[in-house]
Every structure is written in C-alpha cells, then in structure tokens.
Amino acid sequence: MPISGTTDGRLCCVLPFKAAPVEVRLLRNAAARQLTRWGVPAAVDEAEVLITELATNVVKHVGDGAVAALVLEWRSNRLRLEVHDRSPVLPVARKVRRHDECGRGLHLVAGLTADWGATPTAVGKAVWCEVPLSSGADCYRVERVVGVLEAYQSTGDALERQRRSWETSLEESAVKLIADLLHWTVARGHDPDDFLDRAQTCYEAEESDAA
C-alpha cells in the first residue's frame, strides 16, 4: 500500500515491494498512477524504465523475495527515485563489454538521469537517481493546490483523516473546499454557477495555451 505525504514543498510516496519479476510490473504501474495523480504524467515513461532497472537489480543482486521499497519524491523541477533494500553492498557501474548483460542496468540509469548514486542506510542501502522535469505552471499549480488542501484539512477531523489514505483524504477535501467556495460566492451575492463557468473557461484557456 502506498504511503504518501508532503514535506517542505516536496510530494513523497513510499511503495513497499518484494523483489520478484511480477512485483516489478506492479510497482511500475503503481508509480505511474501516483505520478499521474501528482500531475506529472510526462514523467511516467522515463520513470517506468528507471524503476524497472532499479527494482530488477534488487531481484538479481539481493535475492528473489527480498523486502524493498521505492520512494518517489517530486519537487517542481525534478523527480527523485530511491530503491531501498537490506543489502549493504553498494552497486558499481563497471565497464560493460559488448555481449555482457550484467551491469547494463546502471549504465542505462546513468544515461537517462541528471545524477544517480548509492548510499548506505541504517538497514542496508538506497540506490537513487534524479530526473529533471519542466518547472512550468502546471507543476506549480499542483504544488499550490496540495498546500491549500493540506491547510484546509487541518481544520477538519484529524482522527478521521488518519483512517483514510493521504490521496483519498485530499480528494475528499478538494470536494469540500469547492463546496465551501460556492457557499462563499452565494454569501456575497454572486451566482455560484457563474464562478464555476469562469473557472472552467480559465482552465480550458490554460490547457489550450499549453498544447
């Protein structure tokens, strides 16, 4: 089950998995869904390739069935991927011969990313890489909305929020926030349908400009 949250303007998601070929596919799909929820679908294809390589390395070099976790972290202009496992052995991207299949994964990771590396952790190691993303208005809008929704959540029932996933809680808060905004327009003598129409027109114009 994904564990999501936000810290210092960063969107984070932890996806635990077991090192096995079938789990790699499920992990890739779960990460793609999360990136789409965050509003960065353009990063999905590249992220899926990197996740496949990093997770497959755990299967090959740590062992089938090993416990591991993928951490996704997004901050406006970059996406960071980390794969944590319980092996203390740090990977090395050695020179690959023409017909040598071993070691190709890390060279692919290095070629697709702005930077990558491996670091020891308290229980093993983390192999990480960073992908540059566009810092356009869409990314900023998603970050801004998440901040507003989390501030809005703080006025609600904290105990009830703990019983739901972070993503589901944000979706429910978005609906309630929109409803409260409509109440705000009525209280000031405005037509809520007019505000919704204006918001839709603004959204469509921005989408057209971005196309």
More reliable by pLDDT, 207 or 184: 184
What pTM does this model have?
0.62
pLDDT tens-digit series, residues 93-132: 654 444 444 445 677 788 888 899 999 999 999 999 998 8
Sketch out the chain's domains with CATH numbers.
3-132 (3.30.565.10), 137-210 (no CATH)
Average pLDDT, integer, range 140-147 = 62
Print the SS3 string covering the chain: CCEEEEECCEEEEEEEEECCHHHHHHHHHHHHHHHHHHCCHHHHHHHHHHHHHHHHHHHHHCCCCCEEEEEEEEECCEEEEEEEECCCCCCCCCCCCCCCCCCHHHHHHHHHCCEEEEEECCCCEEEEEEEECCCCHHHHHHHHHHHHHHHHHCCCCHHHHHCCCHHHHHHHHHHHHHHHHHHHHHHCCCCHHHHHHHHHHHHHHHHHHHC
